[in-house]
Chain A
Amino acid sequence: MSFPLLTATAALPAVGAVAVAAVPAARRTAAKWLALLFSLGTLALAVTVLVRFEPGGARYQLTESHAWIADFGVRYELGVDGIGVTLLALTALLVPFVIAAGWHDADPSPDSGGEAPAETKHYRWRPTQGFFALILMVEAMVILSFEATDVFLFYILFEAMLIPMYFLIGGFGDRAHAQGEEAAATQRSYAAVKFLLYNLVGGLIMLAAVIGLYVVAGSFSLGEIAAARASGELEMATNTERLLFLGFFFAFAIKAPLWPLHTWLPNAMGEATAPVAVLITAVVDKVGTFAMLRFCLQLFPEASKWATPVIIVLSLISIVYGALLAVGQRDIKRLIAYASISHFGFIILGIFAMTSQGQSGATLYMVNHGISTAALMLVAGFLISRRGSRLIADYGGVQKVAPVLAGTFLVGGLATLSLPGLAPFVSEFLVLVGTFTRYPAAGIVATFGIVLAALYVLVLYQRTMTGPVKEEVRSMPDLRVRELAVVAPLIALLIFLGVYPKPVTEIVNPAVEHTMSDVQQQDPRPDVEAAK
């Protein structure tokens, strides 16, 4: 038996989580370095996976399969295709940045002088260790969920990752709040509970669908079910397939999130610290869109086609609505959250356009959105931590006092508005073209998104960074070395993937071809050729 690389990639951060949690209370810095070390180790393993993965080879590679709950046919089955391996790499890549950016986010608050609050004296008070352990735990679960090819295993991870996320949102909120600590705590627990309830409802419905699938198919294995469906051995009644599809899709649409199931995201991203917000939108939410590609399209191709018109309309609403709401926000982090809703609209649009360009674009979009949002959100976090406010109106003229911060913020913003030359442009254009070839009207509506994106990004930049210097920001320091070390690689990556996205598309393309053949769709041919 060969070395279980995929298991190792997921296990390493899990081990790291336990190790970090066990670090004694006083040795906070050691815990941070340990967490960073484990996340870098995971990145190294992810790179190994990426290297070992052969783009043109079998659909699922590096597979592992062990009996788990034999009575129900649940197996511990892992394997990655081009899409999974890309997202796995994205996750492993982003987590070290998240950890480095959140270096001081879980330090005991300065007013308590590093002492534990009185009511917590009776147990060992270790928020820093907890914070980083939870992040690593999320990483482990997300990575495993990108690898799982057993529906039940995936379901468990899909639900389980809510728990550490809940504590990360509710337990380590943003200290910057206009109405003071108390209000912040209330808002935070509201956001955390909302996040949990939304996703639990989705998960519950998905559980019903997972059980339904087992009843119909007699197996949880993605490979077995897909093979049986393809060979015609397993036939599903139209209504059964549609109901099962809806059960799965609903859960993923909440996680993604798709309009009108989106309202948990602005709360969660607004109240969480910036690195946790990145974890939510750039990493955890990607599981939703990824699962649409892997489970919805592959297991229920007919139902997917049946639901396409509605989903396309919803994603268009997401794009325009998210962007318009972003324009109307007064809070920097909520603005970025609504922008993300708009971007998730693009991703879902690309997936359900059912063209090669759309799906490759959507996968690429997941990666690029992860990186660009991370860049923008983390810089926004640095900005907010300096001034102690999330309100746009509290800033002005930052560019003058902190030019590097402003510059990186602008680059992050430009990536968010998909400026050509930066990575998100490639994916956004692919999604648009892919949609346009099949649904021209949808393509045109989605294009409005690019104008609105320019509006919210530039208005944000203008109000915070330009103009006369506000008194409160006059003494604001520029980016520190640690912060620059977080942002600079992300920006370099944005430029690199904008100019040369080939390394990613090469991995993604074969997987997309498989998905296209699953749904038995072919790209529309150009008019000129079709006429011949």
Chain B
Amino acid sequence: MDNLIALLIAAPLLGAALLLCGGRRLDGAGHWVATVLAFVSFLFGTVLFADMLGKAADDRTVQQQLFSWIPVEGFQADVAFQLDQLSMTFVLLITGVGSLIHLYSVGYMEHDERRRRFFGYLNLFLAAMLLLVLADNYLLLYVGWEGVGLASYLLIGFWQHKPSAATAAKKAFLVNRVGDMGLSIAVMLMFTTFGTFAFTPVLESTGETSEAMLTAIGLLLLLAACGKSAQVPLQSWLGDAMEGPTPVSALIHAATMVTAGVYLIVRSGAIFNAAPDAQLAVVVVGAVTLLFGAIIGCAKDDIKKALAGSTMSQIGYMVLAAGLGPIGYAFAIMHLVTHGFFKAGLFLGAGSVMHGMNDEVDMRKYGGLRKYLPITFVTFGLGYLAIIGVPPFSGFFSKDKIIEAAFAQEGARAWIFGGIALLGAGITAFYMTRVMLMTFFGKQRWQPDAEGEEPHPHEAPRTMTIPMILLAVGSVGAGAFFSIGDRFVNWLAPVTEFEHPHPVISVPVITASTIAVLLVGAALAYAMYGTRPVPVTAPRGSLLTRAARRDLLQDDFNHVVLVRGGEHLTRSLVYVDHTLVDGVVNGTAAGFGGLSGRLRKLQNGYARTYAVSMFGGAAVLIAATLLMRAV
């Protein structure tokens, strides 16, 4: 049974190897191979899950040591897995949603000539993501961490012939590398502090080192999480990442990979618990991103970018919860799972809309699609209700808990972070209602595409609608299912610890105000986009809108400071290397050359010149001898 853990990863890895090395022979059946292997992995996951349920709650952790990876004196890194309730949750989410998205892609990528490679990358992603959540030490986690980064790079840039896609892919990888730097320094700090980087020994001996050290490790882990989970200040790549095919956005940039940062923080809970300053930083990052993403989401006209802003914001919620300590870990993960369902569903819905609209992404050119895409409309609508947190859909349960936990702090913090979380709920309702209205309601604003072809919106094939329906079921029921009898919290408690939050205001008041805020947000959006016709070209908008359309000027800042600055630096260094470093050497050579040129002039061929030098030499010798004698 324990060997299944390795097989869980091996199945999609095999798929990736087959599809990427197999060549054209697999063009015909490759996508089904990949999809079946994803489902096989899901099957293994459920078997392990059933097995785990059969054990006592505090005896559910399974370890599997595969082999010794890097054996060097004083340094032990193993390929070893640890499956506990936390990783189990992720395994089911990854393989479950992953399999559905494989299925969806069969339809979505049907006409792409490089479909085989696409599925190879998807399988590679699954394997890396599973490795990330199953690793029993930080170094192996790092392998998965970079592995998903690679898969994300390959998939964002899948349509490489578009320069924008290639640039977006590169940007995602580079920004993530900055985060990775944090992770690798954190691992090195762990090694110097604890002599190991396996989860259990590190997390159990946090009491033996100073708080300053733990704060440093915590902040570095936070940096890593910021990169992977698109949190401020490393969030800029996520919007551009929407250049990838939509199933990729759903799987990697909504449901699974971007939540890896939350996993990292929750997994390292013991470190953060002992480092309150690092925890505060986590909460601040979460709160800032929550608003940042939401504001961007309000201004984007590209449906996928609006959803990307939303993803950023929702992960902000999770990070905020994860920063609250034992009162928030379980809620962070719960929101992560429900978000996995509804956001994947929303993205697949967006993909289905694009499928019917000649790949148009501008919502101003949609309108009135509910008649043409009934299944998409219903599933998207359910996802919408879930994300804005209408009871009893999933988002309500998970987000409400996070808001409660945010209010359960000392002094002013409760009001600041609670208030931000509450405000975020309102903005979420606003931008999602806006997306909903612009896409499915109002007048038809379709326009012929670049080749002059009028779109004929049609419902997607069944391979695409089935995953959408299944995810919609998740977005409807998961929250309630998890919350009744605190099922989810109890399930995770042995791993993440749990304390009941005690908010500064009573829970019913918080719930009521959350619902009130979201109604206000939705009503505002209705007033702006439901009652008036939506212009096809975007109005100029306020200063904030314009800034938000440009990702709140983050990209401009990056461009001016990092890109330009970097270009100047490298260019001047190339100059320095050529003129200064090489110049010294070439100068020495030229100096010798010049000197020998001068000396050569003495060889003029006249015998008497040579005679003079001989006489002169003899005279000097004699003079020297006489002088030596005299002294």
Q: Which residues of A contact B (CB under 8 A)?
A: 194, 197-198, 259-260, 262-263, 321, 324-325, 327-329, 355-357, 360-361, 397, 399-400, 403, 407, 414, 419-421, 425-426, 429-430, 432-433, 436-437, 440, 443-444, 447-448, 450-451, 454-455, 458-459, 462, 465-469, 499-502, 505-506, 509, 512-513, 523-529, 531
Contact of A526 with B193 at beta-carbon distance under 8 Å, contacts A451-B178, A462-B167, A466-B160 already known: yes
What is the total number of residues of chain B having a CB less than 8 Å from a CB of chain A? 62
Q: Do B160 and A459 touch (CB < 8 A)? A: no
> Other CB < 8 Å A-B pairs besides A327-B566, A357-B74, A451-B177, 20 of them?
A263-B577, A263-B581, A357-B73, A361-B72, A420-B142, A421-B147, A426-B69, A432-B184, A444-B185, A447-B185, A448-B181, A450-B184, A462-B170, A466-B166, A467-B163, A500-B67, A505-B72, A509-B73, A526-B193, A527-B192
CB distance from B123 to the nearest CB of A (A): 15
Q: Are A501 and B69 in contact (CB under 8 A)?
A: yes
Q: Contact: B170 with A459, CB < 8 Å?
A: yes
Pair B573/A325 contact, Cβ less than 8 Å: yes
B136 interfacial by beta-carbon distance below 8 Å:
no
Give the chain B neighbours of A527 by CB distance below 8 A: 192-194, 209, 213
Contacting residues, chain A, for B569 (C-beta < 8 A) = 324
- With A260-B581, A328-B574 in contact, do A512 and B73 touch (Cβ < 8 Å)? yes
Given contacts A263-B585, A430-B72, A509-B72, contact A324 B573 (CB under 8 A): yes
Query: Which residues, 253 to 305 on B, are CB-close (under 8 Å) to A?
Result: none
Task: Report how far A425 CA is from B150 CA in the complex, Å.
Answer: 14
Interchain CB contact under 8 A, B574 and A399? no
B residues lining the A interface (CB < 8 Å): 20, 67-75, 79, 117, 139, 142-143, 145-147, 150, 153, 157, 160-163, 165-167, 169-170, 173-174, 177-178, 180-181, 184-185, 187-189, 191-196, 205, 208-209, 213, 566, 569-571, 573-574, 577, 581-582, 585, 589
Smallest CB gap from B571: residue in A? A328
CA distance A523 to B213 in the complex (A): 20
Q: List 26 A-B contacts (CB under 8 A).
A: A321-B577, A328-B573, A356-B73, A360-B72, A361-B72, A397-B160, A407-B20, A420-B146, A421-B143, A436-B188, A436-B189, A450-B181, A450-B184, A454-B173, A458-B173, A467-B162, A467-B163, A501-B70, A505-B72, A509-B73, A513-B73, A523-B73, A524-B192, A526-B193, A527-B193, A527-B194
In the complex, the chain A residue whose C-beta lies closest to that of B73 is A356
Given the complex, which residues of B lie within 8 Å of A468, measured CB to CB? 161, 163
Assess whether A325 is in contact with B570, with CB atoms less than 8 Å apart. yes
Q: What residues of chain A lie closer than 8 Å to B167, measured between beta carbons?
A: 462
Min distance, Cβ B389 to any Cβ of chain A, angstroms = 38
Indicate whether A467 sits within 8 Å of B72 (C-beta atoms), given known contacts A433-B188, A447-B181, A450-B184.
no
Q: Please, how many angstroms separate the alpha-carbon atoms of A403 and B162 in the complex?
A: 16
Q: Taking CB as reference atom, which chain A residue is nearest B21?
A: A488
A106 to chain B, nearest CB (A): 29
Contact B72 A356, beta carbon cutoff 8 Å: yes
A263 cross-chain contacts in B, Cβ below 8 A: 577, 581-582, 585
Q: Which of B20, B208, B571 contacts A528 (CB 8 A)?
A: B208
CA distance A502 to B67 in the complex (A): 10
Q: CA of A505 to CA of B74 in the docked complex: distance in angstroms? A: 13
A311 CA to B458 CA, complexed, in Å: 67
Min CB distance B377 to A, Å, is: 36
Specify the main secondary structure of chain A where it touches its partner: helix
Chain B residue nearest to A323 (CB atoms) is B570
Q: How distant is A490 from chain B, measured CB to nearest CB, in Å?
A: 14
Would you give the shortest CB distance from A188 to chain B, in whole angstroms?
17
- CB-defined contacts of A531 to chain B, threshold 8 Å: 208-209
Decide: A421 and B146 in contact? CB cutoff 8 A.
Answer: yes
Q: Is the interface of B mostly helix, strand, loop or mixed?
A: helix
Answer whether A400 and B161 are a contact pair too, CB < 8 Å, given A447-B184, A451-B181. yes
Highest count of chain B CB atoms <10 Å: which of A321, A328, A502: A328
**What separation, in Å, do the CA atoms of A469 and B160 have in the docked complex?**
10
Q: Are A528 and B191 in contact (CB under 8 A)?
A: no
The 6 closest A-B pairs by CB, nearest first: A526-B195, A328-B570, A356-B73, A466-B166, A420-B143, A466-B160
Determine the distance from Cα of A197 to Cα of B75 in the docked complex, in whole angstroms: 42
Interface residue from A262, A399, A443 paired with B160 (Cβ < 8 Å): A399
Report B286 CB to chain A, min CB distance, Å: 24
Q: Which residues of B contact A262 (CB under 8 A)?
A: 581
For B189, list chain A residues within 8 Å (CB): 436
Decide: B157 and A466 in contact? CB cutoff 8 A: yes
Among residues of A, the one whose C-beta sits closest to the C-beta of B577 is A325
Closest Cβ–Cβ distance, residue A347 to chain B (whole Å): 16
- For B160, the chain A residues whose CB sits under 8 A away are 397, 399-400, 465-467
B191–A526 touching, CB < 8 Å: yes
Please indicate the chain B residues that have their CB under 8 angstroms from the CB of A469 in the complex: 161
Min CB gap B473→A, angstroms: 36
Shortest C-beta distance, B454 to chain A (Å), equals 27
Q: List the A side residues contacting B145 at CB < 8 Å.
A: 420
Q: Which residue of B lies closest to A259 (CB)?
A: B581
CA of A468 to CA of B143, assembled, Å: 32
Which residue of A328, A426, A455 contacts B174 across the interface (Cβ within 8 Å)? A455
> Closest residue of chain B to A453, judged by CB?
B177
Query: Are B209 and A437 touching (Cβ within 8 A)?
Result: no
